[in-house]
């Protein structure tokens, strides 16, 4: 049993008190974005009320305090993922931005015609399309690790894909469409045995599972603030110092330079080399509060509670006639995706919405996953630490009601 006081946690999230369509909100779309605790909302307010000014620029007081607050977040992030250095933490717009950074910069330096990049069959579009664009530009080839009917990667096929032409492996830690937890340690070890670096898309993992980048020995790690109780428009690219020094800058502009003349520009040191222009300052500062919030609850406590809730949801939803779970891997986290015979996921989603229950329907930005299962999409309930068994009961009752109406 979990040692978290969920009712107390719910009090921290003002939005959970609101009604939707005349019913209490039941928010089960945390894979799209999580709700924000008051601590985070207050941090955004406080930035604009007390310290609004640009960072890394001014000698004046306000600029110094906003810079300090922004840099505190970087150090908090460093601790959170156990990076060796704070300058290995690049503050980006989010996971998509972080992956595009690596595809562009690593690609520019290391990927040439005939080279291969490996992704998996269960990637979010943001971990497919940047690599496709790179491959097209460079004449490189995108290889895909297949998955089985349970939604687990075929590791033998992965081993067979790795070869001297492989330049990078980029896979998600947890699938946002299926909930599968991938065997990332093994994926990294196998790639490293061939001298190949690995990027982990941790967007669906970092708020549910403790991540230690040094212990994993991962080369790049990407995640988003808004999926971990923080604000939108901010995220992280962790990169090993060695790689960040070897690859060229991303965008050109202010902050990423040391000296600019019309003849030649020299670039700033890490992490600023990759942070051109004014960042999303309030989001960067408020992300600190989100990490504090997770740390206070304890990521292991969060995981234990969410695992318990996921098992309960799976067991209870199994009682729905005609239900078929999409993604039945042995190792799963926080996501339950399903279809019901004779219904369209969208119709179930609309009926649940009328009951105040927010789920996501559709392909979840992972169209190849839906193609493999020959379905247009799924209904996806994705969990956060404030969800309860009572909410799961309401979901199950809602799905039964929708099915009775639709079939």
Catalytically active residues are: 365
204 lies in the binding site for ligand PMP (CB under 6 A) = yes
> For residue 248, what is the DSSP state?
P
CB of 94 to ligand PMP, least distance (A): 4
In the set 95, 100, 120, 403, which binds ligand PMP (CB under 6 A)? 95
382 lies in the binding site for ligand PMP (CB under 6 A) = no
Helix (H, G, I), strand (E, B) or coil at 250: coil
Of 214, 282, 220, 284, nearest in space to 247 by CA? 220
Between CA 230 and CA 304 the distance in angstroms is 21
286/396 with CB nearer ligand PMP: 286
Compute CA distances 2 → 213, 305, 333, 385, 395, whole Å.
Answer: 26, 5, 16, 11, 21
35/96 with CB nearer ligand PMP: 96
In the set 203, 216, 285, 370, which binds ligand PMP (CB under 6 A)? 203
Count of Cβ atoms closer than 10 Å to residue 160 Cβ? 11
176 lies in the binding site for ligand PMP (CB under 6 A) = yes
Between CA 197 and CA 268 the distance in angstroms is 24
Residue ranges in 20-49 that form contacts with ligand PMP under rule CB under 6 A: 31
273/364 with CB nearer ligand PMP: 364
> For residue 50, what is the DSSP state?
I
Pattern 254-273, ligand PMP, x by CB under 6 A? --------------------
From first CA to last CA, the distance across the chain in angstroms is 37
179 lies in the binding site for ligand PMP (CB under 6 A) = no
CB of 251 to ligand PMP, least distance (A): 16
Between CA 34 and CA 227 the distance in angstroms is 5
Alpha helices of 299-338 — where are they, by DSSP H?
299-317
Which segment (52-60, 72-80, 199-207, 386-394) binds ligand PMP by CB under 6 A? 199-207
172 lies in the binding site for ligand PMP (CB under 6 A) = yes
Pattern 272-311, ligand PMP, x by CB under 6 A? ----------------------------------------
Q: Judging by DSSP bridges, how do beta strands 360-362 and 378-382 pair with one another?
A: antiparallel
In the set 66, 96, 361, 387, which binds ligand PMP (CB under 6 A)? 96
How far does Cα 55 stand from its chain's mean position?
Answer: 26
127/337 with CB nearer ligand PMP: 127
Residue with tokens 């330079």: 257
Contacts of 213 (CB under 8 A, 6+ apart): 81, 82, 83, 221, 238
- Is residue 40 within 8 Å of residue 33, measured between CB atoms? no
CB of 15 to ligand PMP, least distance (A): 19
78/204 with CB nearer ligand PMP: 204
CB of 80 to ligand PMP, least distance (A): 17
In the set 120, 126, 337, 343, which binds ligand PMP (CB under 6 A)? 126
Sign of CA dihedral 108, 111, 114, 116: negative
Between CA 384 and CA 380 the distance in angstroms is 13
Which segment (123-131, 212-220, 324-332, 386-394) binds ligand PMP by CB under 6 A? 123-131
Which segment (91-99, 247-255, 269-277, 370-378) binds ligand PMP by CB under 6 A? 91-99
> For residue 51, what is the DSSP state?
I
Pattern 129-148, ligand PMP, x by CB under 6 A? --------------------
Dig out the tokens for 74 from the structure.
């970087």
CB of 96 to ligand PMP, least distance (A): 3
Between CA 124 and CA 366 the distance in angstroms is 5
361 lies in the binding site for ligand PMP (CB under 6 A) = no
CB of 127 to ligand PMP, least distance (A): 6
Residue ranges in 221-240 that form contacts with ligand PMP under rule CB under 6 A: 224
Residues touching ligand PMP: how many (CB under 6 A)? 13
Between CA 200 and CA 203 the distance in angstroms is 9
Helix (H, G, I), strand (E, B) or coil at 379: strand
Q: Which residues form the interface with ligand PMP (CB under 6 A)?
A: 31, 94-96, 124, 126-127, 172, 176, 201, 203-204, 224
């Amino acid at each position: 049993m979990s040692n978290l006081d969920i009712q107390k946690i719910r009090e921290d999230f003002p939005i959970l008190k609101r009604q939707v369509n005349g019913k209490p909100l039941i928010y089960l779309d945390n894979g799209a974005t999580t709700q924000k605790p008051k601590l985070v909302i207050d941090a955004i307010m406080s930035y604009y009320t007390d310290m609004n000014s640009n960072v890394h620029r001014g000698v004046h007081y306000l600029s110094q305090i906003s810079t300090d607050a922004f840099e505190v977040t970087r150090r908090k992030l460093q601790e959170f993922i156990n990076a060796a250095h704070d300058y290995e933490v690049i503050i980006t717009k989010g996971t998509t931005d972080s992956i595009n950074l690596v595809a562009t910069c690593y690609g520019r330096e290391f990927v040439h015609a005939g080279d291969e990049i490996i992704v998996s069959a269960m990637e979010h579009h943001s971990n497919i399309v940047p690599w496709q664009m790179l491959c097209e530009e460079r004449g490189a080839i995108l290889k895909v690790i297949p998955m089985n009917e349970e939604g687990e990667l075929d590791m033998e096929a992965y081993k067979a894909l790795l070869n001297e032409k492989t330049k990078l492996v980029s896979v998600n830690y947890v699938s946002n469409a299926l909930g599968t937890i991938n065997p990332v340690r093994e994926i990294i070890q196998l790639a490293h045995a061939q001298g190949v670096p690995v990027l982990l898309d941790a967007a669906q993992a970092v708020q549910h599972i403790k991540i230690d980048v040094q212990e994993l020995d991962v080369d790049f790690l990407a995640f988003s603030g808004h999926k971990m109780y923080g604000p939108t428009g901010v995220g992280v690219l962790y990169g090993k110092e060695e790689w960040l020094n070897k690859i060229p800058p991303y965008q050109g502009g202010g902050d990423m330079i040391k000296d600019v003349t019309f003849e030649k520009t020299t670039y700033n040191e890490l992490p600023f080399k990759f942070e051109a222009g004014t960042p999303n300052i309030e989001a960067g500062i408020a992300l600190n509060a989100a990490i504090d919030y997770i740390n206070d609850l304890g990521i292991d406590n969060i995981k234990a509670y969410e695992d318990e809730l996921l098992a309960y949801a799976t067991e209870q939803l199994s009682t729905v006639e005609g239900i078929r779970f999409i993604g039945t891997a042995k190792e799963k986290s926080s996501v339950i995706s399903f279809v019901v015979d004779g219904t369209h996921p969208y119709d179930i989603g609309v009926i649940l919405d009328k009951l105040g229950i927010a789920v996501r329907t559709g392909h979840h930005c992972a169209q190849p996953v839906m193609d493999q299962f020959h379905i247009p999409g799924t209904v996806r309930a994705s969990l956060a630490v404030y969800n309860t068994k009572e909410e799961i009961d309401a979901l199950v009752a809602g799905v039964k009601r929708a099915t009775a109406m639709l079939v």
